[in-house]
Structure 1
Amino acid sequence: MHTFYILVTMATLVTLAVCQFPADMEKFHKACMDEAKVTEDELKQFFQNGMKADEAKENIKCHTKCLMQKQGIWKDGVFNADAKVKELMQMPKLKGHEAEITQAMNNCKNEKGANECDTAFKITMCLKEFRSKNP
């Protein structure tokens, strides 16, 4: 279950604070595992190894994109940072952190990869890196 919460954090780009997770996330996670053809063991290994971008296989990247699509923050190859900020601001534990969250989203929303899966993953990794530099 610990892996699931790390995954949710990564996929929802909520690396700025511990928060309440949407009830649908587990359903999204399972559907995206099937869609991206990624196993729980592959995800677990990726997280246990420190989420190193250069170790992410394409299926892990596509899992990230799939989760973003199901949350409604990824459409037609574009990350909707504004929608994600609005969603995050509904979470009580994130109240008062809008400036930091907006800064992170603006810093990372234009990352580009080789394809949509890679782009979604690069945005996520950028947010993770931003969080580690701005606790």
Structure 2
Amino acid sequence: MKALYALTLLSTLAGLVTFALCDTYEEMEKFHKACIAESNTTEDEFKKFFDNGMKASDATNNIKCHMKCLMEKQGIFKNGVYNAEAGLKLLLSIPAISGHENEIKQAVNSCKNERGANDCDTAFKISMCIKEFKAQL
């Protein structure tokens, strides 16, 4: 399960951001477990969402709240507000996407004002918007 989780996270923007922020695998796992509990997401629900390609239409409210929780723990989302400056700084620190600074800045600037029906939906929409830009890299 640990290997699957690490690969899943590393294959997505949320995962790249989590990995960049965490000093160790244990810290990454700690974030995940805390967010599973806080968002009432099951491991099966989480795995299914990522295995099916992270389609926005497949995201349950629990998945959206899990994303919000991860962003909060990373310090890039607080009280319903995305901290674009912190998000950009974090993204620019990820070695796997270095050399794409202009595209990353464009993604953050284009996505930072996404809004949803609630905080979970807002965090999810921002993540999915940035993920779409990442797919173009």
Shared fold per TM-score greater than 0.5: yes
In 2, the alpha carbon distance for the partners of 1:112 and 1:50 equals: 22
Unaligned runs of 5+ in 1: none
Indicate whether 1:69 and 2:68 are aligned: no
Q: What does the per-residue CA deviation read over 1:46-83, in whole Å, with 9 as the maximum and x for residues that have no partner? A: 11112111111100000000000011000111111211
Deviation at 1:7, TM superposition (A): 3.4
TM-score (norm 2): 0.83
Query: Residue 8 of structure 2 contacts residue 50 of structure 2 at CA under 8 Å; is this kept in 1?
Result: yes
Per the alignment, residue 25 of structure 1 pairs with 28
The count of corresponding residues between Structure 1 and Structure 2 is: 130
Q: Which amino acid aligns with 2:89?
A: K
CA 1:125–1:67: 2 relative to 1, 3 Å = same
Q: Which has the higher contact order (CA 8 A, sep 6+)?
A: 1
Calculate the TM-score normalised by the size of structure 1.
0.84
Residue 99 (structure 1) shift: 1.3
The residue aligned with 2:8 is 6
Give the SS at the match of 1:111: coil
Answering whether residue 90 of structure 2 is matched by residue 90 of structure 1, we say no
Task: Structure 2 unaligned segments of length 5 or more: list them.
Answer: none
Root mean square deviation of aligned Cα = 2.1
